[in-house]
Amino acid sequence: MKTKITELLGIAYPIIQGGMAWVAEYHLAAAVSEAGGLGIIGAGGAPASHVREQIQKTKELTKKPFGVNVMLMNPEADEIAKVIVEEGVSVVTTGAGNPGKYLAMWKEAGIKVIPVVASVALAKMMERAGVDAVIAEGTESGGHIGAATTMTLVPQVVDAVKIPVIAAGGIADGRGFAAAMMLGAEAVQMGTRFVVAKECIVHENYKKKILAAKDIDSEVTGTSHGHPVRQLRNNMTREYLKLEKAGAPFEELEHLTLGALRKAVVEGDTVNGTLMAGQIAGMIKEEMTCAEMIQEIMKQAESLLK
Ligand code: TUI
């Protein structure tokens, strides 16, 4: 399927993998790119040296294009931005902030820059700053989220900018893909579905929780201090929301979440770890390879779009 995004990025299918912290490492990124989508290494909160290693390992596994996601709250974001240029990465996505200060450096290096936006205002600002496309990410997504839904955000961003728009949040099959195209998107970004890919290294316990999740099993923590994060309900979210409701100070809440994503991804702690996942987790019932997922989605979408 050809769209403005497959042309821009030189990929076979307009499916981009979310840049999930801890989860989106080189095995997953290479597998998605090899399957014809765009694999992404999620820099998350990792140090720049780790991101460099991940890029080099991805290059050993695939000759196809892949990207790096820079989580802009990372204290090492400046160094990571430089590593991306030095390693000749072809695509950058950004999240959780405004990537303005890196744009000149990335564009000069010929890198395609695609920020995640959660509002029309930021999408327009990013277009004026010269980015190549934007990812309009709805509140259905896992992890750090904005307020607007995918259904409302995508068409409003499509109307507001001339650059291609990638839809994200709540998309995990050919129906969601086709719906995103109807809203004017040129591609989709998926996170939660790829967490349960065979090639994804997250702990089996984490995958099992996503596969068992129902439609209303996610919870949003951190709204009171301006950093809402969607994850599956567990002991951690119950404790967090109780404290948040009681007006606990930010430091106390932060203590609860510090290292909790690593605990879930690496140790498989589903009780006190942070199981970031989107609302579509309830629909995901089977572990498959990235190639199987992408083929299934494209087949279903193509028949619907006809
Ligand atoms: O960034 C994400 N999702 C993430 S980042 C992340 S790492 C983390 N770990 C633990 C606790 C908290 C975070 C987990 N999930 N998605 C992209 C995204 N960006 N969603 C929303 C935004 C966003 C929001 C506001 C982007 C820009 C923005 O405003 C920018 C500005 O400064 O105007």
* Cβ of residue 282 lying under 6 Å from some atom of ligand 1: no
**Cα–Cα distance, 306 to 302 (Å, whole number):** 6
Q: What is the pLDDT of residues 80-93, one digit of tens each?
A: 999 999 999 999 99
Distance 145 CA to ligand 1 centre (A): 6
Residue nearest to ligand 1 atom 23, measured at CA = 96
Indicate if the alpha-carbon torsion angle 157, 159, 160, 162 is positive or negative: positive
Tokens of 189: 């970004």
* Cβ of residue 96 lying under 6 Å from some atom of ligand 1: yes
* Cβ of residue 44 lying under 6 Å from some atom of ligand 1: yes
Domain ranges for the chain, please list them. Answer: 4-199+283-305, 214-276
Q: 10 Å Cβ neighbour count for 271?
A: 11
Instruction: Note the CATH number of domain 4-199+283-305.
Output: 3.20.20.70
pLDDT of residue 224: 92
Q: What is the pLDDT of residues 201-248, one digit of tens each?
A: 999 999 999 999 999 999 999 999 999 999 999 999 999 999 999 999
Closest CA to 15 of 291, 210, 200: 291
- The secondary structure of residue 139, as a DSSP letter, is T
Longest CA–CA span in the chain (Å) reads: 53
**Cα–Cα distance, 250 to 62 (Å, whole number):** 42
For tokens 């989580």, name the residue: 71
* Atom in ligand 1 nearest the alpha carbon of residue 143: 15
Tokens of 145: 């989220």
* Cβ of residue 98 lying under 6 Å from some atom of ligand 1: yes
Residue nearest to ligand 1 atom 17, measured at CA = 95
pLDDT of residue 248: 94
Q: What is the pLDDT of residues 116-172, one digit of tens each?
A: 999 999 999 999 999 999 999 999 999 999 999 999 999 999 999 999 999 999 999
* Cβ of residue 144 lying under 6 Å from some atom of ligand 1: yes
* Atom in ligand 1 nearest the alpha carbon of residue 96: 19
Q: Return the C-alpha torsion angle 17, 306, 134, 125, nearest 10.
A: -160
Distance 71 CA to ligand 1 centre (A): 7
